[in-house]
Structure 1
């Protein structure tokens, strides 16, 4: 641990976000988050808070009464939820300090232990004279987001009366009031087997992939597909996995193509599927059967979402952080929360830098200064929003 790293108001709270960050990154969270969650629970308990943990492993703790500031009964924000995730992608990469002690590398350093450290400091440090502040930490963000989905759906969810949600992800201290969604599904083509010496007697499903790929390339040119979004830009549709054929001397009767869709509002899974099948109906020979199905998963895919960039949450947090207001570059479970309350994504670290990928990469790291700056901005913004 580098020396001379002062804790953020540690004299009052006894909590040092940098010490916590180093410990958090040292814990393996790519398969289970129990150890890290219990560490957080212990810290909260030591400060007099009594968090709950639901069946999915989501930790929730709340401070404040939710009562409005004196003389202000119509403020826009009286309950803020701070959310980030506890899990990481594989494999575990242990923490390592940079040569100048100015940054910490390791799995989860920026995605999302950095945001967790800043949010925990915020929850413990913010002086609430009015309003309510909730910390909600979810597991399984990197796979199915079962924790986040349950948090939205359960009857006692703190999101029921939330006025603002801040989701911790690596944004480089920019405030992101929008993000693309993500759908994934498989196109199945059905033809008819035949001897490869007489291809004209069968219906070649693999050959029909040519028409399918061309149809995918022109899909976003349709008038009934959402165009460029003012915050998110254009949607994307990418073929990712292909399978087909059974024998090298046989006309293949089946082929499968998996596609990745990054939608922008107002596209939904249902509208995407209907439009895609209409596109294929005009492009693929009638001798080939075409169907589409979304990849089976226990939780819904992420819809694209956006929050008004002029909302007090966006303006106050961006003023506090000094960062830009822009769209987040990846799909996130903030999608679930945005349907309930105005939502932004914010945190220290970056998905990528000038050298290459950072989050999910072996060189993942976070700047120590950004941890302090993120916590300071969050404390300033939550204080201002809940007091005005």
Structure 2
């Protein structure tokens, strides 16, 4: 199979979806994308592992980076893809159709189409986004060739249903350990029940839900979340539990750093032993930048906050403001019937391509 980025966008999209590329196994698709890019004489293409970076070098005043990941979550009987006609249009159903091979198809099509854009463009196609952060292809590029990621603005082709979503939430997962003393349940007063001692923690979580969880950042309103997600404890049905553990997930707005988020949680749960399992920094929307504002104006819809963590945070750490924008309803991502309305591919290509081709006033 060969990919023709100058051909029909929907055919290109179908081919990319049908090339299985579960995280860690992107080599076939990466090879196809590499061949398609190296056939484009206006681009300089570099391959690092299963990551491709292709750049124009026109000496434009501004450089925009457009990125999309090649990998998907595991296939669940949803490949090859199928087309379905629904009341609101035609859909492609299959693993990766929403997250995020629609964005990859749009980016690859524009990489071929825009041989002389008004802004220099760096196109990045990377691997291992859906698994542990240490394997993420953007991290490898940043470590080996950070110069390839230099840009004035990054657009991450995450599924947003064609609406600009600014920044992203940070996330912190941690456990609180509650000690007790084991005893026979017939003589419970001789022990100390650790599970019962989870009650004050649950009270704190319930009280937190009653406060205003809305935080305004650069004109976007983020809804924070603090929730118990797992509880463990107990040895047997007739034993007073000698210990209990509760896992909590804090999704926080980008008005604070990761360190500030951790400090606030340690203060909130002072008195309990805390183990931090995961702490990822957020990204501010970056909509105060002129380049970002011009893109929002071109898209023509009201921007929204991004709920969840995305790789815009990686660009933020590099000092590059980044936006999420791409085809596909994010609520369809990772579902067994994952799908993408085909019309959104055309809409995203027109908006992003038109903006990259136009001189900013």
Name which of structure 1's ranges 173-182 and 262-271 shifts more when overlaid on structure 2: 262-271
Contact 1:186 1:293 in 2 (8 A): yes
Query: 1:277 offset after TM fit, Å?
Result: 2.9
Alignment of 1:28-177 (within 5 A): 28-31=20-23, 32-48=25-41, 49-55=43-49, 57-68=50-61, 78-92=62-76, 93-94=78-79, 95-99=81-85, 102-128=90-116, 131-145=119-133, 146-159=136-149, 161-177=150-166
Output the CA distance in 2 between the equivalents of 1:281 and 1:186: 13
Query: 1:130 offset after TM fit, Å?
Result: 5.6
Output the CA distance in 2 between the equivalents of 1:310 and 1:277: 32
Name which of structure 1's ranges 318-327 and 37-46 shifts more when overlaid on structure 2: 318-327
Contact 1:263 1:303 in 2 (8 A): no
The number of residues matched between the two structures is: 347
- Corresponding residue for 1:355? none
- Corresponding residue for 1:286? none
Output the CA distance in 2 between the equivalents of 1:331 and 1:164: 18
Query: 1:294 offset after TM fit, Å?
Result: 2.2
SS in 2 for 1:21: helix
Query: 1:306 offset after TM fit, Å?
Result: 2.0
The structure-2 alpha-carbon separation of the partners of 1:295 and 1:359, relative to structure 1 and needing over 3 Å to count, comes to same
Query: Aligned pair 1:384/2:345, yes or no?
Result: no
SS in 2 for 1:64: coil
Query: 1:226 offset after TM fit, Å?
Result: 8.2
Output the CA distance in 2 between the equivalents of 1:275 and 1:328: 22
Alignment of 1:1-388 (within 5 A): 14-31=6-23, 32-48=25-41, 49-55=43-49, 57-68=50-61, 78-92=62-76, 93-94=78-79, 95-99=81-85, 102-128=90-116, 131-145=119-133, 146-159=136-149, 161-219=150-208, 228-230=215-217, 231-281=220-270, 290-295=272-277, 301-339=279-317, 340-352=319-331, 358-384=332-358
Query: 1:315 offset after TM fit, Å?
Result: 2.6
Instruction: Give RMSD over aligned pairs.
Output: 2.5
Contact 2:34 2:47 in 1 (8 A): no
User: What 5-or-longer segments of structure 1 have no aligned partner?
Assistant: 1-9, 69-77, 283-289, 353-357
The structure-2 alpha-carbon separation of the partners of 1:302 and 1:232, relative to structure 1 and needing over 3 Å to count, comes to farther
Contact 1:105 1:364 in 2 (8 A): yes
Query: 1:20 offset after TM fit, Å?
Result: 1.4
SS in 1 for 2:128: coil
Q: TM-score, normalised by structure 1?
A: 0.81
Output the CA distance in 1 between the equivalents of 2:305 and 2:270: 34
- Corresponding residue for 1:75? none
Output the CA distance in 2 between the equivalents of 1:312 and 1:366: 31
Query: 1:328 offset after TM fit, Å?
Result: 2.1
User: What 5-or-longer segments of structure 2 have no aligned partner?
Assistant: none
